[in-house]
Amino acid sequence: MRRLSLALVIFLGAGVWWHQPLRRAFLAVFRLPLTTAERTFSILLDLPQVPHLEIELARLRTELTQRQLDVVHFQEAFRHQTRATQLQQAAEGRNPAGSATPLGSEGLRFGTSGPVARVIGRTIIPTEHVILLDRGSREGVAREGVLVDVAGVAGRIVEVHPTTSLGSLLTDPDSRIACLVERSREGALLVGTGGLQDRLEYLDLDADIEVGDRVVTAGLGGSFPKGLLLGVVTKVQRDERNARLTAWVRPAVRVSQLEEVLCLPPSKNAD
């Protein structure tokens, strides 16, 4: 019986040795306890380092978040500087790069400029179009000063503090700007409506005005110099019964997208 058992063992051993798949399976089964013990021992050695690794991971996450914020701040600063340069070029009468619409027939050649202010707040009342700027009297902002964008007039300064100021946009219901139809030189008053378009009032019934006409500042008795672009006529209504003509104007400036404005001193015509 012992000889039979020994012969069987020898036979199996020879089969395992010469049969490659069996040999691999045998070695894998033989090594499994050793491999498991080795991995368990390695995990036990690494356990004390887990709290340190968690702290390091949290630090790396915080550092990555800070780097991402730095990139965002850099991009915003670069964009703001680019816009400021464009606005200063407009004030000097040069056509800013990327500006598809001229500011007016006479440009912005004032011989003077002003600070570029960021819009840091807006009124929460839908019908009021008032913005808060991060520049005030310390930077040279003056009440009744003119707010312009590279596309045209944005509004005027209505309140000034040392480091901030309030601007009323030309779409605000309290906004009133003397203006001209650039093509025909018809005079009118541009009135804010609190909506996306302004209204031209005090036009004669037979006034020469058409859809597509550009409307510019008249420079009469106010803070706005003459010739700055206000917007384009989109609709003309003639009321024969009441002898009244009203026109609607789309502002050249996208007031809802304003982020920076150039704060120019008021015209000499201002009170």
Q: What is the pLDDT along the chain (271 residues), one digit of tens a residue?
A: 555 555 555 555 555 455 556 556 655 555 666 666 666 666 666 666 666 767 767 767 776 666 665 665 555 555 656 666 666 666 665 555 544 444 444 444 444 578 888 999 998 788 889 999 999 999 989 999 999 888 889 999 999 999 999 999 999 999 999 999 999 999 999 999 998 899 999 898 888 999 999 999 998 877 888 888 999 999 998 887 777 888 999 999 988 888 888 888 887 654 4
* Block residue for tokens 């009323």: 168
Q: Where in the chain is the domain with CATH 2.40.10.350?
A: 92-271
Whether 177 contacts 192, CB under 8 Å: no
Which contiguous run of DSSP H or E holds residue 53?
helix 50-91
Buried b (16+ CB within 10 A) or exposed e, 84-119: bebbbbbbeeeebeebeebbbeebbeeeebbbbbbb
pTM of the predicted protein model: 0.66
Q: Is domain 92-271 classified as CATH 2.40.10.350?
A: yes
131-to-139, 174, 184 alpha-carbon distances in Å? 17, 14, 33
63's CB contacts (< 8 A; 6+ apart) are none
